[in-house]
Amino acid sequence: MFENVFDMNERKSFLKKHITGITIGIVFGLALVIYLLSMLFTGDTGYVIVLVDGQEQGIYSLHEDREIRIETDRGDNLLVIGSGQAYIKEADCDNQVCVHTQPIKATGGQIICLPHRVVVRLKSKEKSEIDAVTN
């Protein structure tokens, strides 16, 4: 009789005792799944989009090493694409924020040069930027 009651308590408390671990496990599992899925979708990071004044100026592959001079009415930027990443090497603006921005290599990464209204952004696929603006 006594043992039976003890057993009942034991079983009831199993969930209670391990619920924290279970909760953490589920969330970590979920995080891992989402992480792997996002890796799957952004695996083919590959395009550098250059926007001037919000208008698409050019699109380049991230895997071809080259230097691109971005010319705007307000000034020029020198974009360098090499070894799977992109960065601004030179800019004839005052603040040089874009030059100091870390090289971008993952989808969604972007470099912004406000004085010249230039945005350099990485996209996974070669589709129009309009999609991203409207959704």
Partner 1 sequence: MQSRTKKIAVLGLFISLSLIFSYIESIIPVPLVVPGAKLGLPNALIVLVLYAYGIREAMVVNVARIFISGFMFGNLFSIVYSLSGAVFSFVIMILAKRIKFFSVKDVSILGGVFHNVGQIVVAAFLVSGMSVMAYLPFLLVAGVVTGLCNGILAEIIYKRGIL
Please report, as ranges, the residues that interact with partner 1 according to CB under 8 A: 15-16, 19-20, 23-24, 27-28, 30-32, 34-35, 38, 42, 106-108, 132-133, 135
Least CB distance to partner 1 at residue 35 (A): 4
Residue 98 vs 122, nearer CB to partner 1: 122
Residue 106 vs 114, nearer CB to partner 1: 106
Least CB distance to partner 1 at residue 22 (A): 9
What sign does the CA torsion over 48, 51, 86, 31 have?
negative
Gap between the Cα atoms of 102 and 44, Å rounded: 21
Residue 42 vs 72, nearer CB to partner 1: 42
Least CB distance to partner 1 at residue 131 (A): 10
Residue 9 vs 38, nearer CB to partner 1: 38
